[in-house]
Amino acid sequence: MNQGERGRERWVLPEVGRRRFLIGAAAATTVVLVGCGSPSDDGPGRSGSPTAPRKAVDPVDAPAAGADGDVFTLGVASGDPTTTSVILWTRLASDPTADDGAGGLGDDDIAIAWDLAADADFSRVLASELISAKAAHGHSVHVDAQGLEAGTDYWYRFRYGDQTSTVGRTATLPDGSPDAFGLAVVNCQMYEGGAYGAYRNLVDEDVDLVVHLGDYIYEYPGGEGAGRHSLPNRMLTTVGDYRLRYASYKLDPDLQAAHARFPFVATWDDHEVANNYMGDTVPGDATPEQVEERKAAAYQAWWENMPARLDPPDGPDLAVYRDFTMGDLATLYLLDERQDSAEPPCRDTSTAGLDYGNCDDVDGEDRTRLGADQEAWLADALGGSATRWNLLGNPVVLAGIDAGQDESAFYLDTWDGFPDARKRLIAQLADVDNPVVLTGDYHAGMVLDVHEVPFDQDTPVVAPEFMAPPISSALFDADVTGRTPQLRQQINEYGYLVVAVTPDELTATFRVVDDVADPDTAISTAAVWTVAAGDPIAQQT
């Protein structure tokens, strides 16, 4: 590959379904970087037609290594599969803990090769091309491997000089009428909170896709002394800070193994930017301009580090809401509940930025949670759903939790701080087949009933809500059953949720680790709940 080719980028529209187009309309620019040109990727047949099986190809020669040291220190990942394509990710860093977050690779773009194969040994390579890992993108690449077959496993790797990355395994989404589809739901993985034994066990689960509901990183100083500490040891504010934090987390071998084993789809919650940020506000005295600057830095680093089918952010804006369809079996709607949200009501500094309490000012039809664009997109997407199950990837709890003891008190950065917006969302869920809400953020496992009117047990149940336990972030641990009648079960454990979907039934299995401090920890099942199609009342088995 010569320098001229190295500098060339191709921007290609992803396959545009109706909903994808609507996302594109909302986001203005849904385009995907597919890499720089080997001559073969200029023709219209580059990826083959979606229905014709790919022919085996010879791997391209890897570009000569110019950088010193192993550049594949941060692992590989795949994500955002469709029935015919998947995003393949890596981020190069020869010195991943360098304090400036640049990974030791300076300002030059670096050419690498990527290969996709039909087998783990790469005896049948189906695609092999060169791509530029751009310094402006933190030396990350997001390859859109197209022309694949539905519901099929693939293997991928990256090469640079004589270095070869870990081999990743991925899969496209099924089409038609699948008999089953399995998800793992993960969230809240504070590095300092424990080892990633949950991820070590997750690689052995029989699931097709991992859904990350946010708090992939935390923004606090990493600390020092005994125990696990991420870098840097300062509050994250700059893009270099956030890049270094992601690198620090991604050096964990169990997190790398989970990414290498399954495709991920990820949204975010607050800590990808700052605790309880909402719209252009954070608890404290930062100005909206300062919050926007921090959001821009955080969004840039998030995009660089996630295998997401999204174009790079432009400042403090990145539309991450999107949906995934598993034939006629299920649709997953992944939401962003921070970026365009109104400020929680009655925010004051005496509650340490937790937005905790009770407050009449929660009311107000104009108090948005999702922002107008996302709310319109979701209404349209749900309205057009033709699948048996409709799964909401919902970062913060919807059904309502009254965590007060003697009197009511709520975490007002959850949907409890946005009752009118919540009412609109619940009304939309009531209109689709078999809605199921999948939730994170609270640092507990929970099963809740989403009632038409939260906390009013006399109103119908619209959907079950399953809250995934945290991977490693400190447990919430307080018993909230007293004032929350819609809470069916609370599980104060670390782990993840496995959701198995069939046409007749959805099964939610709470998998919990014995010891969050131990990467070799055993895992066990704390609870199994089922939801029969046509009945929103979950049953414990």
Query: What are the b/e assignments for 278-301, b being 16+ CB within 10 Å?
Result: bbbbbbeebeeeebbbbbbbbbbb
Q: Which helix (H) or strand (E) holds 357?
A: strand 356-357
Q: Binding of Fe ion at residue 444 (CB under 5 A)?
A: no
Pairwise CA distance, residues 488 & 55, whole Å: 52
Q: Binding of Fe ion at residue 270 (CB under 5 A)?
A: no
Task: Tell which one of 215, 323, 449, 493 touches Fe ion (CB under 5 A).
Answer: 215
Name the binder of 319 from Fe ion, Ca ion, none, CB < 5-8 A by kind: none
Q: Which residues, including other chains, have CB under 8 Å from residue 96's CB and lie 6 or more apart?
A: 73, 74, 103, 104, 247, 248, 250, 251
Name the amino acid, one letter, at 436: V
Q: What are phi and psi of 513, to 5 degrees?
A: -90, 155
Least separation, in Å, of the C-beta of 511 and Fe ion?
18
Which of these ranges, 126-134, 170-178, 208-216, 518-526, lies near Ca ion under the rule CB under 5 A? 208-216
Which of these ranges, 213-221, 335-343, 423-431, 448-456, lies near Ca ion under the rule CB under 5 A? 213-221
Q: Binding of Fe ion at residue 413 (CB under 5 A)?
A: no
Residues in a beta bridge with 445: 491
Least separation, in Å, of the C-beta of 258 and Ca ion?
20
Q: What are phi and psi of 349, to 5 degrees?
A: -80, -15
Of residues 422-451, those binding Ca ion (CB under 5 A)? 441
Which of these ranges, 20-28, 115-123, 214-222, 417-425, lies near Ca ion under the rule CB under 5 A? 214-222
Task: Tell which one of 129, 205, 252, 269 touches Ca ion (CB under 5 A).
Answer: 269
Of residues 472-511, those binding Ca ion (CB under 5 A)? none
Output the 3-class SS for 40-59.
Answer: HHHCCCCCCCCCCCCCCCCC
Task: Tell which one of 434, 473, 484, 490 touches Fe ion (CB under 5 A).
Answer: 473
Q: Binding of Ca ion at residue 416 (CB under 5 A)?
A: no
Tokens describing residue 357: 């309490």
Tokens describing residue 538: 């979950």
Least separation, in Å, of the C-beta of 275 and Ca ion?
8
Name the binder of 484 from Ca ion, Fe ion, none, CB < 5-8 A by kind: none
Can you give the C-alpha Rg of the chain in angstroms?
A: 22
Least separation, in Å, of the C-beta of 215 and Fe ion?
3
Q: Binding of Ca ion at residue 115 (CB under 5 A)?
A: no
Toward Ca ion, which CB reaches closer, 207 or 444?
444
Q: Binding of Fe ion at residue 146 (CB under 5 A)?
A: no
Name the binder of 402 from Ca ion, Fe ion, none, CB < 5-8 A by kind: none
Toward Fe ion, which CB reaches closer, 41 or 215?
215
Residues in a beta bridge with 435: 390
Q: Binding of Fe ion at residue 129 (CB under 5 A)?
A: no
Which of these ranges, 207-215, 242-250, 355-363, 465-473, lies near Ca ion under the rule CB under 5 A? 207-215
Name the binder of 473 from Fe ion, Ca ion, none, CB < 5-8 A by kind: Fe ion
Name the binder of 270 from Fe ion, Ca ion, none, CB < 5-8 A by kind: Ca ion
Tokens describing residue 427: 């009304």
Q: Binding of Ca ion at residue 272 (CB under 5 A)?
A: no
Q: Which residues, including other chains, have CB under 8 Å from residue 105's CB and lie 6 or more apart?
A: 67, 71, 92, 93, 94, 95, 135, 139
Q: What are phi and psi of 460, to 5 degrees?
A: -65, 150
Q: How far is CA 223 from CA 7, 176, 229, 234, 271, in A?
A: 40, 50, 6, 8, 17
Pairwise CA distance, residues 22 & 28, whole Å: 9
Toward Ca ion, which CB reaches closer, 181 or 302?
302
Least separation, in Å, of the C-beta of 270 and Ca ion?
5
Name the binder of 450 from Ca ion, Fe ion, none, CB < 5-8 A by kind: none
Q: Is the Cβ–Cβ distance between 290 and 298 less than 8 Å?
A: no
Task: Sketch the per residue contact string, 28 through 57, with Ca ion: x for CB under 5 A, - otherwise.
Answer: ------------------------------
Least separation, in Å, of the C-beta of 193 and Fe ion?
9
Of residues 184-203, those binding Fe ion (CB under 5 A)? 188
Q: Binding of Ca ion at residue 413 (CB under 5 A)?
A: no
Q: Which helix (H) or strand (E) holds 153?
A: strand 153-160
Picking from 121, 273, 252, the residue whose alpha carbon sits closest to that of residue 198 is: 252
Toward Ca ion, which CB reaches closer, 67 or 397?
397
Q: Is the Cβ–Cβ distance between 265 and 332 less than 8 Å?
A: yes
Q: Which residues, including other chains, have CB under 8 Å from residue 152's CB and lie 6 or more apart?
A: 171, 172
Residues that bind Fe ion (CB under 5 A): 188, 215, 473
Residues that bind Ca ion (CB under 5 A): 215, 269-270, 441
